[in-house]
Amino acid sequence: MYELFKNLAKWLVSGDQWAGTDGIAHRIAEHLEYSLLATLIAAAIALPLGLLIGHTGKGAFLAINLSSFGRALPTVGLVVLVFLVSGLSLWSVYVALVVLAVPAIVTNTYAGMSAVDPEVKDAARGQGMRGHQVLFQVEIPLALPLIMTGLRLSLIQVVSTATIAAYVSFGGLGRYVFDGLAQRDLVQVLGGAALVAIVAVVLDLALAGLQRHLFRHRRTAAH
Amino acid sequence: MTVDWSWMGDHTHDLTSLALSHLQAALLAVFFGLLISLPLAVVAHRVRALRGVLLGLSNVLFTIPSIAIFVLLLPVSGLTRTTTVIGLTVYTLVVLLRNTVEGLDSVPAKTKEAAKAMGTRPLRTLLTVELPLALPVIMAGVRIATVMSISLVSVATYIGDGGLGQLFTDGFQRNFPTPVIVGVVLTLLLALVADALLVAIQYVLTPWTRRRA
């Protein structure tokens, strides 16, 4: 066990391992590219949908059921299926990742919007705000913490699942995991897994930091 | 993309055993998750200082990608069912812990005081008053954990386990979509049925929450 971790540490810090197109730096960049782009596309689809459902109160049933459907969907199967249907293209990876990310963003956005006190919305209307003003100046700011939670959850899930891109012959950090498994090279497998975990945790911490930054005025106001 | 129905007919036996093995892994994980998170939740509920630590820790564990957890367990428990179950259990912890703590928090202080005034000891209050009243929120967590575990079992297919997930590898390697579609549909069905059963169990366990007609 000790030997294994020594080799793992050596693998992670070796300079050769980091350079080139097979190198860790390049793999991390690929992994980030898949994850961030997929989450952005998912957000572009899911945020308006969640806001619409939350603002109008219509389609709540859809929002609630979408989340349990999203949780139940086996990610591996989805990626493989889209891959078999669409052929050898990165589209399969993106489609699958976006489908995975959308439910959590929609549900959390909707949940954040519906948690806004109706009296606050009434007060805003009473002050003469129009529908879109209530939405952008009252509802969205108040719903933002939960919206951010949804984005964070989705991003973690996407980073985690982007590993599967390597299974269908693309890059990213999953390369080490699947190549290592095929070559019975446990050090490489563990190295890949550790890097995926680190990337996920770091991205989540970064978003948590961003969230704190966005709300710092509110915290000081509360004190 | 067409489904080869005869393939399904020829593999009914395999599909049944894969589905059962799939379900077993998921349910064991939820069982162990509850076993671990119940006492931890009671501690987090009672000791404010430990609350943030325990909830924060389970959140960090949740951030680690499932495939990474399975792979990182390989040196410890190898290519076995144990690895699958431990990995899934880790995932259930965050949901179960958070919901159980929230459930315990939701029990009105007056109810606990009433129990105390009647001379009920703390452990008995916990078992006969607090946990039953917290049950709806705990069960909500159990439902999420179960559905999530059922969908995650297939990730373990990369370490040689994974129940219905094996259909995905099979379909991928032979470039044959039928097993993949069947695997996805069966996983969704398992999750749906398990969730419905949990709703029924909760209905039976919490007669006081049923609205009187």
- Apex B184 CA angle, B182 and B190, nearest 5: 95
Q: How many residues are listed for chain A in this entry?
A: 223
- Apex A200 CA angle, A75 and A19, nearest 5: 105
pLDDT tens, residue by residue, B81-90? 999 999 999 9
pLDDT score recorded for residue A222: 43
pLDDT tens, residue by residue, B96-138? 999 999 999 999 999 989 998 999 998 999 999 999 999 999 9
Residue A221 in this model has a pLDDT that exceeds 80: no
Query: Is this prediction's ipTM beyond 0.95?
Result: no
The answer to whether the CB atoms of B67 and A174 lie below 8 A apart is yes
CA distance A151 to A102: 9
pLDDT tens, residue by residue, B51-63? 999 998 888 888 8
> How many helices and strands (H and E) does chain B possess?
11, 0
CA distance B11 to B8: 5
Residues near B198 by Cβ (< 8 Å), separated by ≥ 6?
B139, B142, B143, B146
Residues near A189 by Cβ (< 8 Å), separated by ≥ 6?
A176, A177, A180, A181, B71, B74
To the nearest 10°, the Cα dihedral for B174, B178, B181, B186? -110
pLDDT score recorded for residue A217: 64
> Residue B74: its chain A contacts at CB < 8 A?
186, 189-190
Q: How confident is the model at residue A59 (pLDDT cuts 50, 70, 90)?
A: confident
| CA quadruple B136, B142, B145, B149: dihedral sign | negative
pLDDT score recorded for residue B28: 97
From the list B66, B153, B184, the residue facing A78 with the nearest CB is B184
Provide the mean pLDDT of chain B: 91
The answer to whether the CB atoms of A197 and B68 lie below 8 A apart is yes
Residue A153 in this model has a pLDDT that exceeds 80: yes
CA distance B82 to B88: 10
> Residue B68: its chain A contacts at CB < 8 A?
160, 163, 193-194, 196-197, 200
CA distance B176 to A85: 10
> Residue B4: its chain A contacts at CB < 8 A?
none
